[in-house]
Amino acid sequence: KEAVAIIARAIQDTQDSVSVGIDAVKYISVEDSECLMKISCTDNCSNENSLSNTGRFIIEFYLKRGQLSFVPEFNEIIDPRFVNELAHQRQEKK
């Protein structure tokens, strides 16, 4: 509660609004994170929500608004090494 009050004061918002925002955060597993980092997912996951797929929509949005002048390479923006290494370490422990 104290943290929510501090954040609310800092951003000049209500504590209720800050609490709602915090409660809306979805925490995902390492396995889901690994899947979302892949350009094409396999078996256990759908790539419809992958960062690559979502990134295409975001890039298109910024292109239309004139905030991007070219389509960047997705693999130059997102680096999955950290998530992949973490997933690998977890697999080794099993």
CB under 8 Å to 30, separation ≥6 — which residues? 83, 86, 87, 90
- Identify the weakest region by mean pLDDT among 8-22, 26-40, 42-56, 67-81: 42-56
CA–CA gap between residue 31 and residue 24 (Å, rounded): 21
17 is written with which tokens? 């609004």
pLDDT in tens, 27-43: 888 888 887 877 544 54
Phi then psi dihedrals of residue 41, to 5 deg: -90, 165
Highest mean pLDDT of the ranges 6-10, 36-40, 53-57, 90-94: 6-10
Classify 61 as helix, strand or coil: helix
The reported pLDDT for the residue numbered 13 is 97
Distance in angstroms between the alpha carbons of the first and the last residue of the chain: 37
